Amino acid sequence: MRLRPIPAVKPRSLEEALRYLEEGGRPLAGGTDLLVAIRKGQEKPELLVYVGELPELRILREGPEGLEIGAALTHAELLVHPATERFPILRAVLRTIGSPAIRAMGTLGGNLVTASPAGDSLVALSLLEARVRLVGPRGERELPIPEFLVGPRKTALERGELVRSVFLPYPEGHPRSFFRKVGRRRALIIAVASLGALVWVRDGRVERARLALGSVAPTVLRPRDVEEALVGRPLAPEAWEDLVPVLSAATQPISDLRATAEYRRKVAGRLLLALAEALQAGP
């Protein structure tokens, strides 16, 4: 199938970019998701608006309460920047995304807007309770991750709006980080199920926990009941066994070419035990 040419513009300012977006243009930065969707015929934009070099979308600003990350910064840039050292879970997740070439092109903002249930970076952002900062014709607004991600490949973006940045609050204390995903191959995995966690440990027991699951629900899933049930438990898989079916039951997976819904439920539950084993083994 021969693809029709799509006109593209490179605005000189954020204000100019927003005018094009209000007229129906689609923002483009790394293009690792959007260009694939266009080739497959899943997306048919009338105009591409290249925003990958706009200074307002490429900030990395440390403040007293957290870190603001511009939407057009790439995964590779974030992996090597000293400011992200305070967010080990973010680095752990970004290292698993695609290939080095994909990480050099793909952006945090692009992953957010794609809103794939299998989006690995969304697991980290959910665990860090990130806030998404938007800019559009009516000014700026900020949404927590659960309000921004409204469904599979659906967000709360309104016409003419753009993700400007993501704000990550600094986690309290020193939680231990965990991320693991299961796929059908070893390299360039698209997860059939993934689990990320931040766990605060005191005297060999869970003091507090945040869990986030990918690829097992319409969007990233925070199993709050399981998080609460983990408090006070020792770091031993046998002490968590009763929560495996609880976590599996909390998922809402689908069957597709990569895995059945039942397989995803089972994997999600077993990943909880993998987390316990990792914590028991030590930092």
Query: Is the dihedral angle over the CA atoms 88, 91, 97, 100 positive or is it negative?
Result: negative
Tens digit of each residue's pLDDT (9 = 90 or more) over 207-235: 999 999 999 999 999 999 999 999 999 99
Residues 164 and 58 in one domain: yes
pLDDT in tens, 103-159: 999 999 999 999 998 889 999 999 999 999 999 999 999 999 999 999 999 999 999
Sign (positive/negative) of CA torsion 96, 118, 128, 243? negative
Give pLDDT, residue 1. 46
Q: Which residue has the higher pLDDT, 41 or 186?
A: 41
Residues 6+ apart with CB under 8 A from 145: 122, 125, 126, 129, 130, 131, 132, 220
193, 117: one domain: no
Which pLDDT belongs to residue 139? 95
Do 252 and 268 lie in one domain? The reply is yes
pLDDT tens-place string over residues 95-105: 999 889 999 99
Model confidence pLDDT, tens digit, residues 55-78: 999 999 999 999 999 999 999 999
Give the integer Cα–Cα distance in Å for 67 and 170. 7
pLDDT at 252: 94
Q: What is the pLDDT of residue 2?
A: 54
In a domain, 39, yes or no: no
pLDDT at 269 over 70: yes
Model pLDDT, residue 268: 95
* Residue ending a domain, choose from 135, 169, 203: 169
pLDDT score, position 33: 85
One-letter-per-residue 3-state SS of the chain: CCCCCCCEECCCCHHHHHHHHHCCCEEECCCCCHHHHHHCCCCCCCCEEECCCCHHHCCEEECCCEEEEECCCEHHHHHHCHHHHHCHHHHHHHCCCCCHHHHHHCEHHHHHHHCCCCCHHHHHHHHCCCEEEEEECCEEEEEEHHHHEEECCEECCCCCCEEEEEEEECCCCCCEEEEEEECCCCCCCCCCEEEEEEEEEECCEEEEEEEEEECCCCCCECCHHHHHHHCCCECCHHHCHHHHHHHHHHCCCCCCCCCCHHHHHHHHHHHHHHHHHHHHHCC
Both 225 and 209 in a single domain? yes
Whether 34 is in a domain gets the answer no
pTM of the predicted protein model:
0.93
CA nearest neighbour of 126 among 246, 224, 45? 224
The contacts of residue 201 (CB under 8 Å, 6+ apart) are 176, 207, 235, 279
Domains held by the chain: number: 2
- Structural domain range at position 253: 176-281
Select from 148, 169, 190 the last residue of a domain: 169
Q: What is the pLDDT of residue 204?
A: 95
Cα-only R_g, the chain: 19
Residue 48 confidence (pLDDT) above 70: yes
Q: Hunting for tokens 């300012």 — which residue is that? A: 13
Q: What is the mean pLDDT of the chain?
A: 93
Round to whole Å and give the CA distance between 111 and 272.
Answer: 25
Rounded distance between C-alpha atoms, residue 67 and residue 8, angstroms: 32
How high is the pLDDT of residue 67? 98
Residue with more model confidence, 192 or 1: 192
Evaluated on CA atoms 70, 74, 75, 77, the torsion sign reads: negative
The percent of residues above 70 in pLDDT, for the chain, comes to 96
Q: Does 104 lie in the same domain as 209? A: no
- Of the three residues 106, 136, 169, the one that is the final residue of a domain is 169
Is residue 275 assigned to a domain? yes
* 205 pLDDT higher than 70: yes
Number of residues that make up the chain: 283
Structural domain includes residue 205: yes
